[in-house]
Each structure stands twice: as C-alpha cells, then as structure tokens.
A and B are shown apart, each in its own frame.
Chain A
Amino acid sequence: MIKVLAALFVFVLGTAAQAEVLRLAVTTSFNNSGLSDVLLPAIKEDTGLDVQLLIVGTGQALRLGEAGDVDAILVHSKSSEEAFVADGHGTHRREIMYNDFVLIGPSDDPAGLRDLDTAAAAFGALASQKPRFVSRGDDSGTHKKERALWADAGVDADAFGDWYRAVGAGMGASLNTATAMGAYILSDRASWLNFGNKDGMAILFAGDPILFNQYSFLPVNPARHSHVRNDLAQTLEAWLTGPRAQALIDGYTIDGETLFTFNANTN
C-alpha cells in the first residue's frame, strides 16, 4: 500500500513539475474572448515558456499576486493596479492593449439607450427607468468600472432596488444570467463577441471614450516572494510588448470585428 501511495505521489508531482512554467493570473475577459488560445501557443513557440493561466476576476488576480501564488498578473483596473505597485506587491505596471466596454441589453431596448450620446446619460437613463440590470458584483475590473460609471452618472448604486441584480460571477456566467432575464449588463466587447448564447440581446451603447478598457501586465515583486520567477515574467513581458504579440493582438478578429488594440510602449 505504501509503495502504491508513493508511486501515486511521484506520478502526481511528476505531472506538476515541468521546466520553465510561468503562472499568470488573468481576467475572465482575456480568456473568454478567446485571445489566450491564440497567444499561448505562440508564446510557447517563441520563448519555450509554458504559461499556466488562472482565470479569475481582477480582484482575485491581485490577491493571488499579493500572496505570491502567481508570477505575474494581466488585469484591467488602473487604480487597483497602481495601488498594487505602490504597496510593493508588483515591480511595475506595463500597458499592453485595450478594448472597450459596451452596454448589452434586450434588442427592443426598453430604456432607449440607442439614442443617447454619453455613458453618463445611458447610466442615468437606466437608473431612472429601472429595467433589470445584471451586475458582476465580484470586485472584478468590469465590476469596478460599472461602479465608477454609476458614480459618474450621479447615482448611488448601493441604493438600487431589486431591479439591480448583483450575481457575483464571471463575465460569461453573468452574460448567461442577463440573457435569461432579458436584462441590461456592462461587458467588455471581446467577451461579448465571443459569447455563444446571445439570444435576443444586442450592443445598445458603445463608443464613449470613458468606456476605454486598458489591460496591463504586472510582474509580482520577487523581493516579497523569493520563489516567484521574475526572470520568466520579464521574458513574457518582452514577448507581450514585441512585434509578434502586436500582430497577433491587432489581427485577432471575430466575425470581422477587431477585439483588442495593441498599445504597449515599445521603447
């Protein structure tokens, strides 16, 4: 019995211990958009790095970085990222690419968002007309953005009644909920385009510059956690800001629509 257990243990450890493995915590939108399926094989090909993705919300990604459970994070919530670096959890913050947030809702648009010009007006209309609205409610980058947008529109999201449903789930699961309820929801464009269950839902508002969504790469500070592979994080950062990444990110489309725009400072 002990031999069997020992053999099992070795077997299990053997599968876990591979050379040059980098753990990267990414937001659900990065994976749900399908971009990771394009980038990871190219990274493996060019650098030999095995990037293991932990797909979580921005809030949890930052926690994983603080605890030293990942080597780097790729998230989209500027103020939390800056706090992360300021507290010494990350070495620095490097902008990689952006997409934008869009307001999704039932195609017949009961709140009349299609005719509005600004995000503040759109969120103001939602607050006054109270159609069903699904919030991520999971402290992710998208959730933080949504909270900020309510504040910009001059309304207090904490005082909303039961038309406002905080589901506490990832982007895809929240979109499923919104589709089932015929509710409005804020999503990043990439996740929406790659989403497979769009029944009766459409993009109703987009294009305000405030809906800009920047993704950044933050290596975890090796001074805090000596086991963190900062060398591999640097290799990955160099690749992500290089020409091949630029071509792949800019060239990634779904149904002819570009999802992400590369904007890393390559100097």
Chain B
Amino acid sequence: MGDIYDGLRSAFWLIATLDSDLVNITLRSLQVSLSALVIACAIAVPLGTWLAIRRFRHRRTVIALLNALMGLPPVVVGLIVYILLSRSGPFGVLGLLFTPTAMIIAQVIIITPLIASITHQAMRDLWAEYHDLLISLNTTRGQRIKALVWDGRRTLLTAALAGFGRAIGEVGAIMIVGGNIDQVTRVLTTAIALETGKGDFGLALGLGFVLIALAVVINLAIHMLSRTEREGRW
C-alpha cells in the first residue's frame, strides 16, 4: 500500500512541476498513438463500412478473420515488424527500426482490425435500416458509404476511442520496435516498464497514473467536442 501512496505522490509532483522528461515522454506517447489512430481510422472505417454493404463470395471468412485479428498479440506484431524493419530484413534500407515511425507502423497493425471490426458491426445494423431508402434513391456505392459513415459517427467515435485506448496502453510491440531509447522512442508505457525494472515503483506508478489520467482526459475532451450524451442529441 505504501507504494501506491508513493505513486500518487510522485504523480502529483511530476504533474505539478511539469517535469520536462514527463512532458517529453507524454507528448511522444500522444504523437505516436494519435498518428497511429489517424492512419488506422483512414484504413479501417472505409474497410468496415465496405464490408457491411458489399456482398461477395468470401465475405464471411474475411469478417471472421477481421474479428479474430482484434486479438492480435502485440508482442508478435512487434517481433514481425522488427524483423521486417531490421537492417538485415527486407525493409532494412529505410532505416526505420528504433524510430517513432516504426512504433506507429506496429500500432496501426494492432488497432486497425479492432476499429474495422467495430465499424463493421455498427454499419451492418445501420445498413439494414437504410438499405431500402438508399437503394431507392439510386445512390452510388460511394454515396452510400458516406451516408452511413456520417450517420454512424457516434459509433465510429467509440471505435476510434477503443483503438486509441489499445494503442496508448500498449507496451509489447513498441518496446521491441522502438527500443525505449531515451528522448527518441521512450513513451509512457515503456518508461513504466523501465522504472519497474529499476525497482523504483513510486516513479513507475506515478507515470502509470499520468497515463490513466491522460486516457481519461482525451476521452472526455473528445466527448465534449463531439457533444455526445447531451439532451436532444444522440
């Protein structure tokens, strides 16, 4: 219990004094996970919607596969990305290993199936409702996707937040491909792992509380900005 108290106290001091390392690490966490989120959404939202409205032969297999990939183990993704980006691997010439870009690539792979899968579930229900209307209006496929995405934006927000939550809290993959280099690829989760390794539980917990607070603040901010859960809106 003493450790938890120490953790709260060090979290308070880290934030109160705006510790420069903390600010640096926190901004990098945000930079990596938000970049990954934007890229993953750009892929997953159209993909999930397309899967909901399009009928083709192996659709069920693709959807089952997508759902299974939601549980993709980050450490395996990390290892595969590591091998691909290593200087002795196929993309070694790019020199991307141990950079924030490598961490973003790994996180995109981890969260894209999650966002695509939730998007697909939501869009399927919405499509059942809109099907006759959109068909009778003689819309093109592009217009249908746009209409569904716009009207389903609340659910898509949930999908994006789920993806962000998984990305910002993830440590297995980014530890491997980022290498936890001070000032370059150290983020909140890898810093926590490092401080735990040093036996400095107070600081590790402090960083942990900062991470949790950050996730809460981001979620609240997005809800405020998008005005969900307000009277007269849905």
Where the two chains meet, the residues of A that have a C-beta atom closer than 8 Å to any C-beta of B are: 1, 4-5, 8-9, 11-13, 15-16, 23, 28, 32, 52-55, 66-69, 169-173, 175-176, 179, 194-198, 225, 227
User: Could you say which residues of chain A place their CB within 8 Å of the CB of B42?
Assistant: 1, 5
Instruction: Identify 10 residue pairs between A and B in the complex whose beta-carbon atoms are under 8 Å apart, listed by A's number.
Output: A1-B42, A12-B31, A15-B100, A54-B98, A54-B179, A66-B88, A67-B87, A195-B199, A196-B198, A227-B95
Residue-wise, chain B 206-223 has the 8 Å CB interface mask toward A (1 for contact) of 000000000000000000
Is the beta-carbon distance between B38 and A5 smaller than 8 angstroms? yes
Is the beta-carbon distance between A69 and B98 smaller than 8 angstroms? yes
User: Could you say which residues of chain B place their CB within 8 Å of the CB of A172?
Assistant: 196-199
In the complex, whether B99 has a CB less than 8 A from a CB of chain A is yes
Is the beta-carbon distance between B196 and A54 smaller than 8 angstroms? no
User: Could you say which residues of chain B place their CB within 8 Å of the CB of A28?
Assistant: 197
Beyond A67-B88, A227-B87, whether A54 also contacts B181 by CB under 8 A is yes
Residue-wise, chain B 7-46 has the 8 Å CB interface mask toward A (1 for contact) of 0000000000000000000000001000100110010000
User: Could you say which residues of chain A place their CB within 8 Å of the CB of B119?
Assistant: none
User: Could you say which residues of chain A place their CB within 8 Å of the CB of B97?
Assistant: 69
State the Cβ distance, A8 to closest chain B Cβ, in Å.
5
User: Could you say which residues of chain A place their CB within 8 Å of the CB of B201?
Assistant: 196-197
User: Could you say which residues of chain B place their CB within 8 Å of the CB of A13?
Assistant: 99, 101
State the Cβ distance, B80 to closest chain A Cβ, in Å.
15
Is the beta-carbon distance between A52 and B87 smaller than 8 angstroms? no
State the Cβ distance, B146 to closest chain A Cβ, in Å.
14
Give the CA-CA distance A169 to B196 in the complex, in Å.
12
In the complex, whether B132 has a CB less than 8 A from a CB of chain A is no
Q: How large is the interface on B (under 10, 10 to 19, 20 to 34, 35 or more residues)?
A: 20 to 34
Is the beta-carbon distance between B198 and A53 smaller than 8 angstroms? no
User: Could you say which residues of chain A place their CB within 8 Å of the CB of B197?
Assistant: 28, 32, 169-173, 176
Give the CA-CA distance A223 to B201 in the complex, in Å.
44
Q: Please name the residue on chain B nearest to A34 by beta carbon.
A: B198
Interface-central residue, B31, B87, B92, by most chain A CB under 10 Å = B87
Is the beta-carbon distance between A23 and B98 smaller than 8 angstroms? yes
Interface-central residue, B31, B98, B101, B199, by most chain A CB under 10 Å = B199
User: Could you say which residues of chain A place their CB within 8 Å of the CB of B100?
Assistant: 12, 15-16
User: Could you say which residues of chain A place their CB within 8 Å of the CB of B182?
Assistant: 52-53
Residue-wise, chain B 85-99 has the 8 Å CB interface mask toward A (1 for contact) of 011110010010111
Is the beta-carbon distance between B199 and A176 smaller than 8 angstroms? yes
Q: Which of B89, B95, B181, B196 contacts A173 (CB 8 A)?
A: B196
Chain B positions 150-186 with a Cβ under 8 Å from a chain A Cβ: 179-182, 184
Is the beta-carbon distance between A67 and B86 smaller than 8 angstroms? yes
In the complex, whether B125 has a CB less than 8 A from a CB of chain A is no
State the Cβ distance, A59 to closest chain B Cβ, in Å.
15
Give the CA-CA distance A227 to B181 in the complex, in Å.
20
State the Cβ distance, A37 to closest chain B Cβ, in Å.
9
Give the CA-CA distance A160 to B197 in the complex, in Å.
26
User: Could you say which residues of chain B place their CB within 8 Å of the CB of A11?
Assistant: 31
Beyond A5-B42, A176-B199, A196-B199, whether A12 also contacts B35 by CB under 8 A is yes
Beyond A16-B99, A23-B98, whether A69 also contacts B199 by CB under 8 A is no
Q: Please name the residue on chain A nearest to B101 by beta carbon.
A: A12
Give the CA-CA distance A194 to B200 in the complex, in Å.
10
Q: Please name the residue on chain B nearest to A54 by beta carbon.
A: B179
Chain B positions 65-90 with a Cβ under 8 Å from a chain A Cβ: 86-89
